[in-house]
Amino acid sequence: VVARVLEGFHGCVMAYGATGSGKTHSVCAGRDGLLARACAALFGGLGGAPATVAATCVELYLDGIRDLLAAPDDENRAAALSPARGNSPAPAPRKAAAPRRPAIREDPARGVFLEGVERRAVATADDALRLFRAGARRRAARSTAKNGASSRSHAVYTLELSRDVGGATVASKLHVVDLAGSERLDESRASGAGAREAARINASLSALGNVVAALEKRRAHVPYRDSNLTRLLQDSLGGSSYTAVLCCVHPGAGEAANATAALRFASRLRSVTTKPRKNVDPKDA
């Protein structure tokens, strides 16, 4: 996938599976995790050639988008400017510009992209990895009966690459996605806020399943807009991206049902095809 990104195509690698199956470990662990290997492969593939690389890092928590690289002051001001239920919005500080809230946009040339997020220039694989790990530490997490540090959000780590090739500007991006795990409330024993988180996670994963089913059956309408997760991953699921999925399963004897469900989902994904397209800036083509 990274090799294709270096050629100018979009790419995506996502980890899918039930809670506690090892998704976050597979994505973030040390130098062997997907993030570290993807960063090393991308910068190694550039071989010192002139290029601009930027990193973004967001989580989808309760189906809202949170910028994990935003400065705390910006994040606090954004929260203050958002009306809370039963309260009036706090006034913005005088002469302070309102921070942009992350939003999903679509453009005929760029496809689906995030607006209003921090894009940090990175010069090396280590630079990118440090940013991603700092963002990962800010993710929403909660202890459940099945996982002592369960991620309560989907995380999307992105490297955006731009360089001149043959007189044209080629711009591509690589998503590394750590999906939150599906879970049953009777197994996780979540309550209150934890139960609400689980319900929203399951709803977004259900929306993902519906999109995959529609793509698998080649339906005219694909319900990408049913959740921010499927909207953000629209190009990766049925668009112009090269996409790979790591299906994680827990080896425990009591996890057979969850493992079977994950493997069935992965099997359905194998029948979905995308139409990769090289991303050449039409202004320079």
- 23 assigned to a ligand binding site: yes
In this structure, what token pair is assigned to residue 92?
A: 């913005």
- 22 assigned to a ligand binding site: yes
- 18 assigned to a ligand binding site: yes
- 19 assigned to a ligand binding site: yes
- 213 assigned to a ligand binding site: no
C-alpha to C-alpha distance for 14 and 155, rounded to whole angstroms: 10
- 21 assigned to a ligand binding site: yes
Q: Which residues contact 85 (CB under 8 A, 6 or more apart)?
A: none
- 11 assigned to a ligand binding site: no
The gap between the terminal CA atoms of the chain, to the nearest Å, is 24
As annotated, the binding site includes 17-24
As annotated, the binding site for ATP includes 17-24
